[in-house]
Structure 1
């Protein structure tokens, strides 16, 4: 027979401990899963890993906040609003771009003028034989009073308007950078001549602005 007093004593003990009978400690082994790899082959995240990840995230947020605060502090210490600094940077970039554009425009205009002068010089070079014939005809008096005289004058006037200028004359000091000596002869030179002097001009020289189209071809003599 079952002892009724034994069951009463057990219930009384449970009441004193504040636990219900079904909450009594279960007997038997306790199993805890401490595996680092789960059934899918992935690494389990432990409580230490979670704490480490949370700490790293907090540090990153704190660093970003600190950098932003530092930038604001620098702008505040300089007494300039971030928008003012940005506007100054944009203005500086715009001024540099504008300066580069002006320099490019000047370079294009300079190259255009150089190309124009080179083209004009080539055209004038092709006319040099005609100008030489006009010069010789005028030196020998063949143009004076002839119908061709006015045509020659108009041609030379037109070329002068284009910037063509003749140089080289008898009595001028010889300059090898502007004159080409075809002959060195014995001839009288001006009394005030101090060096080699031009005594005859075979072909006058021509220059276009600062550019020499052709040197003057001359005969020279030295003072006696």
Structure 2
């Protein structure tokens, strides 16, 4: 058991007298002779134990004190803080105002570019649709004329002459605008573009026909692009 005295350090009642702080000279060079002292293994171990007990290390502090920012994650890697250098050695708090403004303008430019691309696609789609709608209106207005020309051809009245040339030019002009005639003798019947008005079981079919086939066209049909203006009105027959 030890206690303190008024005259000095702690006193051990089991010893002969008071004991004070123990001073050990651990200098490797003797200050009097200038020679290197011999250090025993026991002294080296004792010094190392004292350093571990006192928290001494090579950094003179905690591991975090030797890392940038003074912080580290559980893996031991330093974490970036507001003062930690980032890209180009500059911290996140040191960005120039012009850099922030430039980033905002770049984002605005990208947004405007995306809006323009979408607008252009929409305009192109609407342009094709409007063109087809206008052509469809013209074809619907010309249906009576086209029907009369078809009937004249069926009765052999348009075999020659200027009227035949006019009829051919009209059909060629409509073809340049995407107008397509529907219905022809020998075609396979398609309910999507044909309207069967009669069924003729005794009609002659083309050689090799295996499906319901058109044998007579009463009114030709027309379509513009994918839109059917009028289905062809036909008579059909089935193969035997």
| TM-score interval, smaller chain | 0.5 to 0.7
Among 204, 212, 222, which residue is 2:220 paired with?
A: 204
- Name the Cα RMSD after superposition: 2.3
Q: 1:104 to 1:78 in 2, by over 3 A?
A: same
Among 87, 111, 116, which residue is 2:102 paired with?
A: 87
1:8 aligned residue: none
1:163 aligns with 2:178: yes
User: How many angstroms does 1:134 deviate by?
Assistant: 0.5
In structure 1, what is the Cα distance between the partners aligned to 2:171 and 2:208?
33
2:53 aligned residue: none
For structure 1, the residue ranges without an aligned partner over 5 or more in a row are 1-69
TM-score, normalised via structure 1 length: 0.61
In structure 2, what is the Cα distance between the partners aligned to 1:116 and 1:191?
41
Among 189, 206, 212, which residue is 2:205 paired with?
A: 189
In structure 2, what is the Cα distance between the partners aligned to 1:145 and 1:115?
37
Q: 1:155 to 1:92 in 2, by over 3 A?
A: same
In structure 2, what is the Cα distance between the partners aligned to 1:148 and 1:122?
24
Q: 1:148 to 1:191 in 2, by over 3 A?
A: closer
Greater percentage in helix: 1
- How many residues are matched? 154
The C-alpha deviation readout for 1:55-110, integer Å capped at 9, x for no partner, is: xxxxxxxxxxxxxxx99637x43446344344223212211112102211321232
